[in-house]
Structure 1
Amino acid sequence: MSPKTNPTEFPAAAARWLRAGLFLLCFALSAPHALAQLPGPDEPTDPTPAIQTPPPQASDADIRTRITDIFAEIDSLRRVTVEVNHGVVTLGGDVSSSAADARAEELALRVNGVVTVENQIERRLAVEDSTGSLFGDSSSRLQKLYRALPLYGVSLAVFLVIALLGHLIASWRGFWRLILPNPFLVELVSGAFRIVALLVALVMAMNVLGATTLMGTILGGAGVIGLAIGFSVRDTLENYISSIMLSVRQPFRANEHVVIDDHEGKVIRLTSRSTILMTLDGNHLRIPNTIVFKSVILNYTRNPERRFEFDLGVDAADDPVAAMQLGLDRLKAMPFVLKDPEPEAFIQTVGDSNIVLRFMGWVNQTETNFAKGRGLAIAATKDALEEGGFTLPEPIYKLRFDSKIEDALKGGSTGSATVSTPSPPAAPPKKPVDTSEASDVAADNTIDEKVAAERASSKEPDLLDEESPVE
């Protein structure tokens, strides 16, 4: 038999369940809003909490008292006056620096109940206020310095050890010559390594002192200054880089006969700034390495065989081929003209009254003076053509006379008088001339001897290395 239910208990139970459901519904609706008001894990909190005043509500007098008491505890703000009216704080008086002015306004704004701040503080311009921090309590500074002496000693020791180690490695010439065979690059890289070692030593020492921020500022300023200096000495840096490239490439050796940018001479030495030549008339010539690096270099010494050429003209009625053969036979008979390559000749141009022939031959510059050899070849070829019956053309001028002058000449020719011109006296016979010195075509070593003496006597460093490969 089932128990009987009391009809009065069902409404009471339903009311309890209804109240519980309404409570859960209210909690579910209010929970997201409450959670949104809570700060998240990544949200920053207020680093400067407000300065509390006596509860429940701060009056103007309370605000003024609170701010005045705070300023009284700070030496730089003791002369600041405070007035409060309806939450508006008016600051007056004077301070010694702009930092103290900003600090007073910041502290006043942090007091609870302050609406705004009217800053009427004036800065004092007295000398003792501005220099007080500079010549302040020297005893406390000396005490701090004394306590920091061990740290300074460790920092100095770190700097000296790293700098000394870098200097020893940079001075190890044998090590650098194994890596860089060029002596100029050895000097450059070793010097750069020494500077890098000093910078590393300075950074490590500042790190020990905990002044890495100051070091970053110094390095940043040094970088800006270095950039400005780099722009101002751009030409000097370009010349220095050209010196490095020339010392590596070695386009010429000492005592070689070169032509650089229309400047001809023999190389004395290559320095870090310029290339020094001795001209063929015995003068010193310095050419900046920037110009040398960009110029076309003609080297006569690299190949001892050198070709000379000259032009001779014959009459238009003569046979040019026979004249060329006669000239070539004479060139081949000359002892200083090389047989291999053989001399050559060809017709250069055909003029109004002559035919221009070009003759070419080769000499060995190490044994023959080029200028003398060419001159003697011209003279010998000319004599051969004249002996062979060829006429070397002379300049022909065409004269045009006015009609009056022609009539006068015709009238004068009809006269009976004759004018006799005396015959010139016979030329005395030519005396024989000793041409042995003029016909000597041996190589002239005068400039070579001067260059050798200059290189031996000068103490200026030379970047030309006989052991380095030539470009």
Structure 2
Amino acid sequence: MKHRLHFALFLKLCSVFAASIREGLRQALRVISLSVLLLTSLSVSAQAATDPFVNLLNANSQAAPVTQLLDGKVISTDISAADDEKIEKRLTQIYQEIDTFKALKVSVKNAIVTITGELNSTTDAVRALQYARQIEGVIGINNKITINRSVGRRLVSTWNRITGIIKDGIGSLPVLLIAVLVFSGFWWLGRWLSKRQSFYRHLSDNYFISSLIGQFVNILVIGTGFLVALIILDATSLVKTILGAVGIVGLAISFAVRDTVENYIASILLSIRNPFSMHDLVKIDAQEGRVASLNSRATMLLAADGSYIRIPNSTVFKAIIINYSCNPKRRFSFDLSIDNDQNVRVAQALANKGMEATEGVLDDPKPNVLIQDLIEEKVVLRLQGWVDQEKHSLGKVRSQAIREVKRLFDEAGIFSIEPAINADPPLQEDLEHLKLNDISPEQKVLAEQVNNEENLLSPKAPKEF
């Protein structure tokens, strides 16, 4: 039955985690879509604003005869028909060498080039105009190129391009295979190096830091392999594009899973600073318990009643932490009220004697019995003592001290009024047991836990306190 409950709890946690991941990815896809749309609109608007030929060609599928003067061209006053003929001849020769532009006709008058004909795409038209711009002596272009919108010709052109790509791909298969093999080798090497935790433990005793170093080495080796594969494929120009895309995707994901990233970074800082160790009794904001584990997402506390408290690491990092186990010596206190007619000095002496006679109360620092307050017809005494937490349970020593002092008061005829149990910090252990060298129940549970590799707390790492 216990295993079934654990399995059901595990399935529930998996479903909650999967739901959070789905929501994060959904948010990331929204941000990525908006980013791509924004970048596309900016690039298109920038191109339309800076390239007059795109504006001319996009105005209509059949552009109106528009003469575009070229900026920066020096217009000579000595223009002859021979110069026009020379420009026309040279541009025609260029167009005849390119199959796509063979249907174009060129005429030149007074260094103004007129281009007529039909092309299959706007891209081809832009290229044709660009060739004309680069001819020496040309001061303007009269664009009369029309774009063919015929479905049949478009299909034929598309099919020719697809077959060309397939042929190129088949011809590049040996090189592609070598690139894949090289990348696979680097991938395997990175995975193998990342698992050499025994080596990384020499660099850092902290499991989380050594694991982080292994992951960094893995990413570095895989990235090197990817770059080598691109060099083999002669596609290094894609590196900038890929890095830009990775940056945008990383930014979008970081916004979508901001809390997860914040917890992960906080776990790194906590594992380095080590404000507490395993089994330490701590108080984090209003939550109190013994430290069970620290993973990449949360810190687990085991409360005195056996329940587990899960606190996100980002909250732990920013919270006020009280570590009761950092100093093995810990003070306990409790209040006793006696009648105003009783001898206060005698009551203090008996209380001090009872504290010193209690097993587990330290002689150094010595126990104290102070007059805390005078309220109506009673005197409030505050009794304070110190316990070595590594040898005795604070709650049980305190319980025995109360019994011992009460016994001495009863024998001396000193009666307490409304005995108030005001501990600082609040009582955590069961006061019914008499064995003072016994560990608390939650310590037993922690001692029975199997060490988990995901626990980021390292006993060898330097402590913050």
- Relative to the length of structure 2, the TM-score reads 0.66
User: Which residue number corresponds to residue 184 of structure 1?
Assistant: 208
1 CA distance for matches of 2:114 and 2:234?
Answer: 42
Which structure has more relative contact order (CA 8 Å, sep 6+)? It is 2
Aligned-pair identity in percent equals 34
SS in structure 2 of the partner of residue 291 of structure 1? helix
Select 1:374's aligned residue among 398, 409, 425. 398
Select 2:445's aligned residue among 420, 440, 450. 450
User: Which residue number corresponds to residue 291 of structure 1?
Assistant: 315
| Higher mean C-alpha displacement, 308-317 vs 181-190 | 308-317
Distance 1:319 1:126, change over 3 A: farther
Based on CA coordinates, which of the two structures has the bigger radius of gyration? 1
What amino acid sits opposite 2:350 in the alignment? L
Query: Is contact 1:306-1:364 (8 Å) kept?
Result: yes
2 CA distance for matches of 1:328 and 1:66?
Answer: 114
Query: Is contact 2:358-2:397 (8 Å) kept?
Result: no
2 CA distance for matches of 1:167 and 1:391?
Answer: 73
- Matched ranges for 1:52-131 at <5 A: 57=81, 74-77=98-101, 91=115, 94-106=118-130, 116-130=140-154
1:262 partnered with 2:257: no
Distance 1:286 1:132, change over 3 A: farther
Instruction: Output the aligned Cα RMSD.
Output: 4.1
1 CA distance for matches of 2:324 and 2:434?
Answer: 21
Shift of 1:266: 1.9
Query: Is contact 1:353-1:393 (8 Å) kept?
Result: no
1 CA distance for matches of 2:154 and 2:398?
Answer: 88
Shift of 1:129: 4.7
SS in structure 1 of the partner of residue 160 of structure 2? coil
Query: Is contact 2:336-2:417 (8 Å) kept?
Result: no
Aligned residue pairs: how many? 375
- Matched ranges for 1:308-457 at <5 A: 308-316=332-340, 319-365=343-389, 368-378=392-402, 380-381=404-405, 384-385=408-409, 388=412, 438=432, 440=434, 442=436, 443-453=438-448, 455-456=449-450
User: Which residue number corresponds to residue 408 of structure 1?
Assistant: none
1:251-278 alpha-carbon deviations (Å, 9 max, x no partner): 4333332222222112222222222221
1 CA distance for matches of 2:247 and 2:384?
Answer: 62
SS in structure 2 of the partner of residue 338 of structure 1? coil
What amino acid sits opposite 2:230 in the alignment? M
2 CA distance for matches of 1:230 and 1:66?
Answer: 56
Query: Is contact 1:327-1:381 (8 Å) kept?
Result: yes
Shift of 1:136: 0.9
Structure 1: segments with no counterpart, 5+ residues = 1-48, 50-54, 395-436
1 CA distance for matches of 2:187 and 2:221?
Answer: 6
Shift of 1:159: 3.4
Shift of 1:60: 9.2
Select 1:247's aligned residue among 271, 277, 290. 271
Query: Is contact 2:369-2:383 (8 Å) kept?
Result: yes
Distance 1:296 1:110, change over 3 A: closer
Shift of 1:102: 2.8
Shift of 1:193: 0.7
What amino acid sits opposite 2:444 in the alignment? E
Query: Is contact 1:87-1:114 (8 Å) kept?
Result: yes
> Which has more helix, going by share of residues?
2
